[in-house]
């Protein structure tokens, strides 16, 4: 009997602490209301047939993972981890790729969720199941990006706002009126390259780097208190403080700085989100100033949109 299963996973926005989280500091991340849907269907020919906008191809599950393209390798990893005998996997996404909004983790989580359901139907869809989806999805992400802190997958799986420190996290209830404005620089970035650059700074300038790391951890801890207090303007001011730390890491550029200058005039504060070098900025806003922030960025020629904090990954009925 053929089985099929659809599983949805949201993209993510790093609110505070990107890069520093790789080196052990706390980060604050949220899920967004855009994401990926993976639909899979059983077959038994030992082939994972992937259909996605980025690449469609047959992956031979028993061949070495290195024989598969970098784009499809995470799916190969998932099929292997689940002892999958073959499946058709269709991926649909409305998250821009390579812009720091968690497209690759959302693909890993959505594919892990849908393939787990058809390859291991006895696992069941309960709360402990999300732990194994985390393991499978994070393993898949690390098959192409070994340095991943795991923060993206955790935010994607659990939804809402989470505070994350390598391997452990806590969920926080988002303030009702909070809105985020995302603006895309249109410059694709390479997370591994940017993480490598920061790692080099950690090695060559350890004194400066550890001071920045401590400051970033303090910013994230304060952010959690402000989330609990529903202090959205305070979170905006903290975003600007975080941006000053990211500038000192050298991951910013003129385009991102211009976008931040526009966003800061209308929102409570803004910063780079994700690895930097390109990708997106996030402005902290609420129901009163989100639209004005989007309009100002759009008038400045940037691709900007409003985002709400979204729910975690889960099956689609």
Give 199 or 237: the residue with its C-beta nearer to ligand PMV.
Answer: 199
Q: Which residues of 118-136 are buried (b: 16+ CB within 10 A; e: fewer)?
A: bbeeeeeeeeeebeebbeb
Residue 304: both structure tokens together = 């900007």
Which residue stretch of 1-9, 52-60, 120-128, 143-151 sits at the interface with ligand PMV (rule: CB under 6 A)? 143-151
Q: What number of chain residues touch ligand PMV (CB under 6 A)?
A: 17
Give 113 or 274: the residue with its C-beta nearer to ligand PMV.
Answer: 274
Which residue stretch of 19-27, 74-82, 125-133, 168-176 sits at the interface with ligand PMV (rule: CB under 6 A)? 19-27
Give 5 or 169: the residue with its C-beta nearer to ligand PMV.
Answer: 169
Q: Is 195 in the site for ligand PMV (CB under 6 A)?
A: yes
Give 48 or 251: the residue with its C-beta nearer to ligand PMV.
Answer: 251
Residue 223: both structure tokens together = 């952010």
Number of other CB atoms surrounding residue 10 within 10 Å:
29
The answer to whether 311 touches 183, Cβ cutoff 8 Å, is no
Q: Is 144 in the site for ligand PMV (CB under 6 A)?
A: no
Q: Is 149 in the site for ligand PMV (CB under 6 A)?
A: yes
Q: What angle do CA 70, 73, 77 make, to 5 degrees?
A: 155
The answer to whether 44 touches 115, Cβ cutoff 8 Å, is no
- What is the closest distance, in whole angstroms, from the C-beta atom of residue 210 to ligand PMV in the complex? 17
Q: How many helices (H) and strands (E) does the chain have?
A: 9, 12
Say how many CA atoms lie within 13 Å of 164 toward its Cβ. Answer: 34
Q: Is 102 in the site for ligand PMV (CB under 6 A)?
A: yes
d(CA 104, CA 151): 12
Give 195 or 213: the residue with its C-beta nearer to ligand PMV.
Answer: 195
Q: E strands along 43-177, which residues?
A: 47-51, 57-60, 87-93, 161-165, 168-172
Give 86 or 274: the residue with its C-beta nearer to ligand PMV.
Answer: 274
Q: Is 312 in the site for ligand PMV (CB under 6 A)?
A: no
Q: E strands along 84-195, which residues?
A: 87-93, 161-165, 168-172, 178-184
Give 171 or 192: the residue with its C-beta nearer to ligand PMV.
Answer: 192
- What is the closest distance, in whole angstroms, from the C-beta atom of residue 317 to ligand PMV in the complex? 29
The answer to whether 217 touches 26, Cβ cutoff 8 Å, is yes
- What is the closest distance, in whole angstroms, from the C-beta atom of residue 47 to ligand PMV in the complex? 29
Burial-class residue 262 by CB neighbours within 10 Å (0-12, 13-18, 19+): buried
Helix, strand or coil, per DSSP, at residue 77: helix
Give 73 or 291: the residue with its C-beta nearer to ligand PMV.
Answer: 73
Binding mask 256-295 for ligand PMV (x = CB under 6 A): ------------------xx---x----------------
Binding mask 231-250 for ligand PMV (x = CB under 6 A): --------------------
The closest residue (CB) to ligand PMV is 274
Q: Footprint of ligand PMV on this chain (CB under 6 A)?
A: 14, 18-19, 21-22, 100, 102, 147-149, 151-152, 191, 195, 274-275, 279
């Amino acid at each position: 009997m053929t089985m099929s299963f659809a599983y949805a996973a949201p993209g993510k926005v790093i609110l505070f602490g990107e890069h520093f989280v790789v080196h052990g500091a706390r980060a604050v991340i949220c899920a967004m209301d855009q994401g990926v849907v993976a639909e899979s269907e059983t077959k038994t020919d030992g082939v994972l047939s992937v259909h996605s906008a980025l690449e469609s191809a047959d992956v031979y599950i028993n061949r070495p993972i290195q024989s598969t393209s970098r784009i499809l390798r995470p799916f190969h990893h998932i099929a292997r981890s689940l002892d999958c005998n073959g499946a058709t996997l269709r991926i649909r996404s409305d998250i821009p790729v390579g812009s720091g909004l968690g497209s690759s983790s959302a693909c890993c989580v959505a594919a892990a969720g849908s393939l787990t359901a058809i390859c291991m139907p006895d696992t069941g869809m309960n709360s402990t199941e999300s732990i194994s989806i985390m393991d499978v999805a994070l393993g898949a992400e690390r098959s192409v990006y070994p340095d991943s802190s795991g923060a993206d997958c955790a935010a994607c799986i659990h939804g809402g706002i989470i505070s994350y420190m390598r391997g452990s996290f806590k969920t926080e209830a988002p303030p009702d009126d909070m809105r985020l404005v995302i603006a895309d620089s249109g410059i694709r970035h390479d997370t591994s390259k940017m993480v490598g650059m920061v790692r080099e700074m950690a090695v060559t300038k350890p004194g400066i780097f550890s001071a920045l790391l401590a400051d970033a951890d303090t910013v994230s801890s304060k952010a959690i208190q402000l989330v609990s207090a529903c202090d959205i303007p305070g979170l905006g001011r903290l975003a600007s403080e975080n941006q000053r730390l990211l500038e000192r890491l050298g991951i910013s550029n003129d385009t991102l700085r211009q976008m931040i200058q526009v966003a800061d005039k209308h929102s409570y504060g803004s910063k780079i989100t994700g690895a930097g070098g390109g990708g997106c900025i996030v402005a902290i806003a609420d129901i009163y100033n989100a639209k004005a922030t989007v309009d100002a960025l759009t008038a400045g020629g940037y691709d900007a949109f409003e985002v709400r904090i979204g729910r975690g990954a889960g099956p689609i009925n």
